[in-house]
Chain A
Amino acid sequence: MALFKNFSIGAALAVPISYLANAVDVPLRWWQRVAGQGGMISFFLIPNMLIFAMFVIVPLAINIVYSVTGGTELFLTERSYVGTEHFDRLLDCSEYTDPNSCREDLFWIAIWNTVKFVFTQVSIMVLIAMITALILNGKIRARGFWRAVFFFPVLLSPVVVGLIWQWMLQRQGVFNFFLFQFDMESINWLTERSWAFGAAVGVSVWAHVGFYVLILLAGLQAIPKDLYEAAEMDGTKPGRAFWRITLPLLWPNLLVVIVLALIRAVQIFDEVYVLTGGGPGTSNLYLTQYIYEVGFASILRNPGVASAASLIMALVLVVLTLAQLGLTRWRDKQ
């Protein structure tokens, strides 16, 4: 591949690595003779699966144990069985829409914040991604350049994203400067509840929209061009062509994009945490941050409650993931 050919460092590394690989071949040939092909299959599978089991499967199992045992200890043997106490505690509400009436009010604040965030963020982001993808699919030059423009923030780390926008939105930041230019009152973007929520939505759309533009654009480019030519010959108006050709053919991709965006939005944490610390107050407290704080950060550390909350979140994600897998399969069949 051209990518590696030009790198002289790559060439310099290739020599010792190939020596190493040849040296490894000697014991492995012996192993293959002793254990047969099955032995070699295990050899190839075991490193990955061992790490995988240890750091994904085992924690998943422990998570379930945690959620039904009490105490602040992390060692399983030092925890006592409490049944569904944590779930009861989390779900103990006289009125589910009113977090103040719940025993674990922060959990419900986090839930409702997350719901509000997910719906606002996903609808705005999918709309913007859709418009951008349609424009990039149109008759423009330098499509690759424009695609890269929208993709750029996707690569930035959440910490960098959070800090960049903190800098732009602070009291004396560039946004208040624009307001100042138009003789308007400056706004406390990050310390006023409603603006801070808007900022969190805006920043996360900014950081992720490029990814969805890419998927939608790939879907749009897969639509055969002759369909549009035929429609044009029949005198079909562009608007009608969009509703009758583009949207139906893009629909499978659009659904996948919506579900992927939902899955990501439910887990929102890093960039908002860096941007506002979840504040002001609890206005930007989302589920992942709740789990993190109950599990690690707060004085009232309670791994059981954190695990129970994360299982509730996992349930939502599993449903969404199954929907996504089903949709992908359905799309690929179309």
Chain B
Amino acid sequence: MNIASFLTARRGKSRWDWTDYFTFSWLGFGLIIMFGPAVWLTLSSFKSPAQLSEFPPTVLPYVAQTVEVEVRGQKKQLPLYEVKLDTGETKVLAELRRIGIISKLVDPADPETTYKVNIKQRTPVREIGLATENYTKPLKDFNFGQFLYNSVFVTVFATLITLVTNSMAAFALSKYQFRGRNGVLLVVIGTLMIPISVIIVPLYSVISSVGLLNSLWGVILPTVATPTGVFLLRQYMLTIPDELLEAARMDDASEWQIYWRIVLPLTAPALAVLAIFSVVWRWNDFLWPLIVLGRKELFTLQVGLNTFAGELNVQWHFILAMTVASMIPVVIVFVFLQRYITTGIAGSGVK
């Protein structure tokens, strides 16, 4: 069974009616609209600046074909052109140089004869090829590597701290009875929906008064005590039977060991969901890092990319390549872990 018939196969009925046509045109359109932009971005990111400014655009990236020609004893790489000669015949020639609107060309097979034609009579010979310098140049010349490092640093440490602190708090809130527990829970749930945009101004002053301004920890710390994470883990831990904990206490396990050896392993599915969420959240964070990080060498990828796009307004070839590069981890998460995320969202309604 080929892919097309697999994707269009329906369960049940054998005749097509209008609902089927509607269904598949909707899905087909959805496929193009949802994936198309990312595919187009990736294709564009491998095009040279000259090709990017072309209108109408080509679908695939091309590079100009070159040929090695020996001119007056020297070997040179010259661009190939298809030239319509004054005599009416068309030839593939290599361009030696261009003076104004006149192009001086040479036949690669016969380097002795040169031709002079108007530049309108020549079109470049191109082959499908990737302008990989869009990727390699920013890595060398701009701070891209530094941005990448900062983003990875923030994502990894924020996720680790989130997992540890949230799971400890969730453990206390689900497995112990104590005074004030409901109060703590109420505060956690009450702030579930407080967005960073409501508290950015005072949060900025808190961060600056503890000296975390212009530091990656200033980006990490405010995000790690996520009420969402505590809530998600607590709901999951509530399903672990208390008898297990009691049995461990009988065997002289300490409370820490109960948390570490019994409850955490059993919470692994919820921890995995939170870890994936946290990685995506922190990798994609924009507004808060934009405010906290004022020095360029501290920028995360998202802030760097935005600044970059503002500075290099016309250098789309670099911007596109950097955008694709910053998408890579998210695409990896999507390809391998998409199932866990979608079931996580469907089950808890958090994002």
Q: A58-B206, A215-B349, A328-B349 are in contact. Are A38 and B201 (CB under 8 A)?
A: no
A3, A214, A307: the one contacting B340 at CB < 8 Å is A3
Q: Which of A163, A211, A267, A270 has the most CB of B within 10 A?
A: A163
**B316 → A minimal CB distance (Å):** 7
Q: A29-B254, A139-B10 are in contact. Are A291 and B173 (CB under 8 A)?
A: no
Query: B129 within 8 Å of A by Cβ?
Result: no
Q: Is the interface of B mostly helix, strand, loop or mixed?
A: helix
Cβ proximity bits B309-346 to A, threshold 8 Å, 1 near / 0 not: 10000001001100100110010011001111110011
Query: B142 within 8 Å of A by Cβ?
Result: no
State the total of A-B contacts with C-beta under 8 angstroms. Answer: 290
Instruction: Pick the interface stretch among A47-55, A99-107, A193-201.
Output: A47-55
- Can you name the residue of chain B whose Cβ is closest to the Cβ of A305? B201
**A222 → B minimal CB distance (Å):** 10
Q: A62-B206, A157-B326, A292-B200 are in contact. Are A1 and B269 (CB under 8 A)?
A: yes
Q: Which of B172, B176, B197 has the most CB of A within 10 A?
A: B197
B187, B189, B255: the one contacting A37 at CB < 8 Å is B255
Complex-state Cα separation, A51 to B330, whole angstroms: 27
Cβ proximity bits A295-311 to B, threshold 8 Å, 1 near / 0 not: 11000000100110011
Contact B222 A45 (CB under 8 A): no
Contact A141 B349 (CB under 8 A): no
Query: B244 within 8 Å of A by Cβ?
Result: no
**A154 → B minimal CB distance (Å):** 8
User: In the assembled complex, which residues on chain B have CB atoms less than 8 Å from the CB atom of A310?
Assistant: 197-201
Complex-state Cα separation, A154 to B331, whole angstroms: 11
Contact B205 A145 (CB under 8 A): no
Q: Which of A45, A76, A303, A324 has the most CB of B within 10 A?
A: A45
B37, B254, B302, B326: the one contacting A25 at CB < 8 Å is B254
Q: How many interface residues does B have (CB within 8 Å)?
A: 104
**A31 → B minimal CB distance (Å):** 9
Contact B41 A174 (CB under 8 A): no
User: In the assembled complex, which residues on chain A have CB atoms less than 8 Å from the CB atom of B123?
Assistant: none
Query: B26 within 8 Å of A by Cβ?
Result: yes
Query: A127 within 8 Å of B by Cβ?
Result: no
Q: A215-B345, A296-B204 are in contact. Are A167 and B11 (CB under 8 A)?
A: no
Q: A48-B166, A56-B191, A131-B26 are in contact. Are A160 and B309 (CB under 8 A)?
A: no
List 16 A–B pairs whose Cβ atoms lie within 8 Å, in order of A's numbering: A57-B187, A60-B194, A63-B198, A75-B205, A132-B30, A138-B19, A141-B11, A150-B34, A156-B38, A174-B57, A206-B37, A256-B349, A288-B287, A296-B204, A310-B200, A314-B194
What would 14 more interface pairs be, CB under 8 Å, given A45-B172, A54-B221?
A37-B255, A62-B206, A66-B202, A75-B205, A145-B7, A152-B34, A156-B284, A163-B323, A167-B316, A168-B37, A180-B55, A292-B291, A303-B201, A321-B193
Interface residues of A (CB under 8 A from B): 1, 3-4, 21, 24-25, 28-29, 32, 37-38, 40-41, 43-45, 47-49, 51-52, 54-63, 66, 74-76, 131-132, 135, 138-142, 144-160, 163-168, 172, 174, 177, 180-181, 206, 210-211, 214-215, 217-218, 238, 256, 260, 263, 267, 269-270, 274, 287-288, 291-292, 295-296, 303, 306-307, 310-311, 313-314, 317, 320-321, 324-325, 328
